[in-house]
Every structure is written in C-alpha cells, then in structure tokens.
C-alpha cells in the first residue's frame, strides 16, 4: 500500500473486541509494509553494527603494519556507510508510510461509522470522545504501528549480534549475551506503573478538555448569570491536576530512560575491564577488543527501540480501546444488513416502541413535550436506536424493519433532519447538490422553504459580481447567515432529496410566525403524496397537518386533527399553548368536573 493509493477502497471490518485486538488487526492488514520496514531496518542496523568490525580490522592492520588489510578495511567502511544510508532512508520512508496508512485506515473506519450512525452517534458517545479518537488517538495508534517494525528489526539484530559475538569472541560474547537480556528485562517492572500513570494523565486531560469545551460553549450564558469565574476556577483546578499527573508520569518515564542508560553503561564497563585483562594475557588482540567495544556501544541503539515500543504501546493501547469502543457501535442491537428488502421500501411508517403511525402519503405532525424524547423518536423513525438499548424495536416502513435492511436503502427511503442541521462550507449550488430522486428541483425546494430573502442576500454578496446566489459561497456552518436563514436552507436541502419519507425535527423553530405559515404551506404542497413527519408544537404547522399525534411519556396519548385535539385534550392544549403547570392543573380540575356533570346528565 502506497500513500498515493489512499483512500482505501474498503478499510475492512476491524476486530473491536478490545484495544490490543484492534492493534493486532491493524498490524495484520499492513503485513507487507511491516515486512518491508523490518528488512530495511535489519539492513540499516546490521550495517551500523558491522562498522566496529571494519574499525577493528583497520586498528589491527595498523598494529600489524599491513597495508592490504588497512585498504580492505577502508573499502568495507565505505560499503557499510553506503548501506547504512540506504537502509536508514528506506526505513524512514516505509515507516512513515506505515504510520500514515494506518492512521488513514482508522480515519476511514471512523468516518464510515459516523456516516452509519448519523446524529445517533453523539447520543451514545460523547462528542469530545469522538473528536479525541479522530485526532490524538489516531496519531498514537499510527505511532505504535510504525514503531512495531523498527522494534522487530532491533530485536532481530540484537539476537543475531549476541550470537555472532559468542562465536567471534566467546570470552566476551558470553558476558554480553547474558547481560543484554538483563538490560531488557530490568525495565519491565517499571512499565505497568508507568502505563497506569499515563492513563491517569489522559483521563484527567480528557475531563479538563470537556470542562473547557462546556465553559466556552456556555460562556455567554455564564456571563449573563455571573458564573464564568466559578467555571474558570474549576478549569484551573482541573488543569493543575493534569499538570501534576503529567509530572508524575514524566518522572517514571525519566527513570526508565535512566535505567536504559545506566545499565548499558555498567555492561560496557564490565566488557572493557574484562577485555583489557584478556588483551594483557594475550588471549585476544587489540582490534578484537575494539570490535567488541564498538558492538556493545551499538547495542545501546537497538535497546532504545525497546523503550520506544513500550512507550508506544502504553500510549496507543487506551487510544485503541477508545477507537474500538466507537467502531463497535451498531445502528441497533439487531442490525443484520443481510440485503433483504434492499429496494422498494414504501408504505406506512410505524414505531412499535411509541405506537406512532404515519400513514403513507400524508403530512403527520408529532407533538412531544420533551424535546430530547422527540429527538430520540425522530432518530428511531430513521432506523436508529439512539439509546443503544437492548431489545429496542426498530421502526417499520411498509411492515419492513428498517434496521434489517442495508443502511443505504434505509437512508434512501427515510431522511431525518434533526433540530440542529449543519451547513457545510461551499457554494449554494454545492450545498443543494445531494443524492436525490430528481423529481424536485433546487429552485422548487428553495421556494417551498421560503428562501427568497436568503437568495437576495446571497446575490448581493456574490464574489464574482454576477449576482447569481447559486454561486455564492456559504461560510463554515453558515455563520454569515442568521439562524432562520440557516434553518430554511437546511430544510431546502432536505426537500430537494425527495425521499419516500421525510422526518423533520423542529424545522421552523428559528423563523417568525409569518414565514413559518408560508413554510408550512410550501412543505405541504411540495410533499403532496409523500409521507412527511414533522415534530413541532407550533399551531401554524399543526393546523396544516393531515393528522396530529400527541406523544406523552414515550407513548402515543392522542391523535386527530389539531382542532379536535385542542378542544378535547387539555394536556395537548397545554403543550401547544405553552401553559404553566398551575394553569394546567386548574384546567384539568375543571375538565374533570365537566366530565362528571356530563356523566350524571
């Protein structure tokens, strides 16, 4: 896999049973790149490790006054230098490729999961966690995948060198072969507490980030009530806890690094002391001692790779665990996506959990006193169980469970627009260039959503001076537009798709009453003969619906026309007229008395 081949045609189905299993799955999917990095790493380290041999030959040639061997040693040095440069260059190239391709694979998996779950994702996982996984965690996971091959090459080179030293100079080689495992194993007891401290630091940093995000998001409200200093003091305390945790973690990692320096130094002293004695006894030559000394010095380099892989794993394991948790989310507990009913989805839309029925071809308005419950119900109508609860029944379209059909088919049949739709940056034409049936034009959808003033505003600010609003660029999230203008453009985008079923959650909450009435008429006319479900408590919308369903405590409490429900149902009337609890209690008491009088009569 090359960087130029990205993105992957199919990033695969990850093993999300645990963080380590996810890392193992990533490694298996990059086996070719890992083997390439391993081979180049071995070439690089073997060339560096063999350099002391050439130096030892040169030193011994000087001692023996042999010009031929000195020239051969010089040629060997040049060859080893060239091989070292080649191996190092290609190792870096392949390792970075492994890092980028692994990160890209995780990013694609996250993007696919986000598209699959839609707005239900942030109801099941905190938005901050999704952001953390797609940014910092992806980098840490890529770091481990990249470091794995370099660690493998270091381990292989270390084993080969120890065996070679035992054969080359048994007296010193045996000492080194016994000392190197001690150096490696000496840091193992320090790794679990170091990993624990690193996890504590990340947890505290995550809480501080969430607190900072909440404070910034609600800063205007906090200033209005004079509470910003309270939240800022909380963030200061959280920030200090992160600093202390980072210092505690750094101290232990510094100790590990110190051990990696001190113990090899002691081994080097022992080798030199033993080697000098052997030279004095005439058992080995000066060149051999120089060679062994150079190899031992080189061994400090691959030993650093052992420390690096330990750090990379300790940091990437919780990151992989978080990624696996996000990637393990499913549309519902019973999702099969087995291809049944992939086409031809049509008919009445029914939610078994609430008893809500939206007849085919009609405009159904849903009144729900709890906005959060309305959002969950809207998502469920789109084929998602936003709470992820076991046994949550799926919505049925024409008697077919939406969570039993492929996601593309469910999305094509039912479109859900939540109460806070996002406008992506780009021109108006690009905003409305979405997958659609083609039966509804962009102009028709804009007209139905009452976007005349929006088009006029965009025409005045057209960058090319042509006055064409379709070519005017909309800033990120539509920040250059008012809330009502953004809401109507989002509605036009939903209308132009012309799905079999369109579910709108509070589509006119940010517009004035006159515009809201015209939007209601426009949507009714444009969606004639199509199934439309609108979640709203606005009388202007409710009065234009074919039928109104009142949902209370998660179940359908009443249904009929708006006028019928206003006359006959006090709870419904209280919701749509925004009455207080005291007024509602008085009305319910009066309603009960009137019923008793009618019964006695």
The secondary structure of the chain in percent helix, strand, coil, rounded to multiples of 5, reads 70, 10, 25
Two tokens, residue 32: 């070719």
Cβ neighbourhood burial of 182 (10 Å; 0-12, 13-18, 19+): exposed
Q: Which of 22-36, 196-210, 215-229, 252-266 has the lowest mean pLDDT?
A: 215-229
Per-residue pLDDT, 592:
52
Two tokens, residue 148: 């794995």
Under DSSP, the state recorded for 364 is: E
Query: 264: Cβ–Cβ under 8 A, 6 or more apart, which residues?
Result: 183, 296, 299, 300, 303
Give 515-574 pLDDT, tens digit per residue. 999 999 999 999 999 999 999 999 999 999 999 999 998 899 999 999 999 999 888 988
Average pLDDT, the chain: 82
Q: Higher-confidence residue: 462 or 41?
A: 41
Per-residue pLDDT, 227:
59
Which overall architecture, per CATH, does domain 349-568 show? 3-Layer(aba) Sandwich (3.40)
CA distance 329 to 116: 10
Element (H, E) at 38: helix 31-64
Q: Higher-confidence residue: 341 or 90?
A: 90
Two tokens, residue 371: 């906005």
CA distance 146 to 102: 8
Q: Which of 191-200, 235-244, 524-533, 574-583 has the lowest mean pLDDT?
A: 574-583
Which residue ranges make up each domain of the chain? 12-327, 349-568
Could you tell me the CATH superfamily of domain 12-327? ABC transporter type 1, transmembrane domain (1.20.1560.10)
Per-residue pLDDT, 465:
62
- Residue 336's CB is within 10 A of a number of other CB atoms, namely 13
Two tokens, residue 210: 């969430």
Query: Is residue 119 very low, low, confident or very high in pLDDT (cuts 50, 70, 90)?
Result: low
Percent of the chain with pLDDT over 90: 22
Per-residue pLDDT, 334:
41
The side-by-side arrangement of strands in the sheet containing 356-358 is 356-358, 349-351, 396-397, 400-401
**Is residue 259 scored above 80 in pLDDT?**
yes
Give 415-454 pLDDT, tens digit per residue. 998 888 888 888 888 889 888 888 899 999 999 999 998 8
Cβ neighbourhood burial of 271 (10 Å; 0-12, 13-18, 19+): buried
- Report DSSP letters for 39-104, one per residue: HHHHHHHHHHHHHHHHHHHHHHHHHHT-HHHHHHHHHHHHHHHHHHHHHHHHHHHHHHHHHHHHHH
């Amino acid at each position: 896999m090359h960087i130029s081949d990205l993105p992957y045609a199919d990033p695969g189905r990850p093993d999300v049973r645990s963080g380590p299993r996810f890392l193992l799955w990533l490694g298996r999917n990059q086996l070719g790149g890992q083997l390439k990095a391993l081979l180049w790493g071995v070439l690089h380290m073997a060339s560096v490790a063999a350099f002391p041999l050439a130096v030892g030959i040169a030193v011994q040639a000087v001692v023996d006054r042999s010009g031929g061997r000195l020239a051969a040693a010089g040629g060997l040095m040049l060859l080893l230098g060239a091989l070292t440069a080649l191996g190092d260059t290609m190792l870096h190239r392949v390792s970075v490729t492994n890092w980028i391709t692994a990160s890209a694979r995780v990013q694609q998996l996250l993007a696919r999961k986000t598209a699959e779950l839609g707005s239900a994702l942030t109801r099941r996982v905190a938005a901050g966690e999704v952001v953390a996984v797609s940014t910092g965690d992806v980098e840490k996971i890529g770091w481990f995948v990249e470091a794995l091959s370099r660690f493998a090459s270091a381990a292989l080179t270390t084993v080969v060198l120890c065996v070679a030293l035992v054969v080359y100079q048994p007296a010193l080689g045996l000492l080194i072969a016994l000392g190197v495992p001690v150096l490696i194993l000496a840091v193992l007891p320090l790794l679990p507490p170091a990993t624990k401290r690193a996890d504590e630091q990340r947890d505290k940093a995550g809480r501080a980030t969430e607190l900072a995000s909440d404070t910034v998001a609600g800063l205007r409200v906090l200033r209005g009530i004079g509470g910003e200093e309270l939240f800022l003091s909380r963030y200061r305390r959280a920030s200090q806890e992160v600093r202390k945790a980072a210092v505690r973690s750094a101290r232990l990692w510094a100790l590990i690094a110190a051990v990696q320096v001190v113990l090899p130094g002691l081994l080097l002293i022992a080798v030199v002391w033993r080697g000098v004695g052997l030279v004095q006894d005439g058992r080995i030559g000066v060149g051999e001692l120089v060679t062994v000394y150079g190899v031992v010095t080189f061994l400090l380099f691959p030993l650093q790779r052992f420390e690096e892989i330990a750090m990379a794993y300790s940091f990437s394991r919780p990151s992989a665990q978080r990624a696996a948790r996000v990637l393990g989310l499913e549309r519902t507990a019973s999702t099969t996506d087995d291809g049944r009913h992939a086409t031809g989805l049509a008919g009445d839309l029914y939610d078994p959990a609430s008893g809500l029925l939206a007849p085919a071809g009609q405009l159904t308005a849903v009144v729900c006193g709890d906005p959060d419950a309305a959002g969950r119900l809207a998502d469920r109508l789109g084929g998602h169980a936003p709470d992820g609860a076991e046994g949550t029944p799926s919505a049925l379209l024409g008697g077919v469970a939406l969570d039993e059909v492929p996601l593309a088919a469910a999305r094509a049949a039912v479109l859900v627009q939540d109460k806070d739709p996002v406008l992506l940056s780009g021109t108006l034409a690009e905003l409305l260039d979405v997958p659609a049936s083609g039966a509804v034009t962009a102009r028709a959808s804009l007209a139905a959503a009452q976007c005349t003033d929006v088009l006029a505003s965009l025409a005045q600010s057209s960058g090319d001076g042509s006055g064409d609003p379709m070519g005017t660029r909309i800033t990120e999230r539509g920040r250059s537009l008012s809330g009502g203008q953004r809401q109507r453009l989002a509605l036009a985008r939903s209308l132009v798709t012309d799905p079999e079923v369109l579910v709108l959650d509070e589509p006119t909450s940010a517009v004035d009453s006159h515009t809201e009435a015209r939007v209601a008429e426009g949507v009714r006319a444009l969606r004639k003969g199509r199934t439309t479900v609108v979640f709203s408590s606005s009388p202007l919308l409710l009065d234009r619906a074919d039928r109104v369903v009142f949902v209370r405590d998660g179940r359908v409490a009443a249904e009929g026309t708006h006028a019928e429900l206003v006359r006959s149902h006090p709870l419904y009337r209280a919701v749509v007229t925004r009455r207080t609890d005291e007024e509602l209690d008085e009305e319910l008491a009066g309603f009960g008395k009137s019923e008793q009088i009618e019964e006695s009569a």
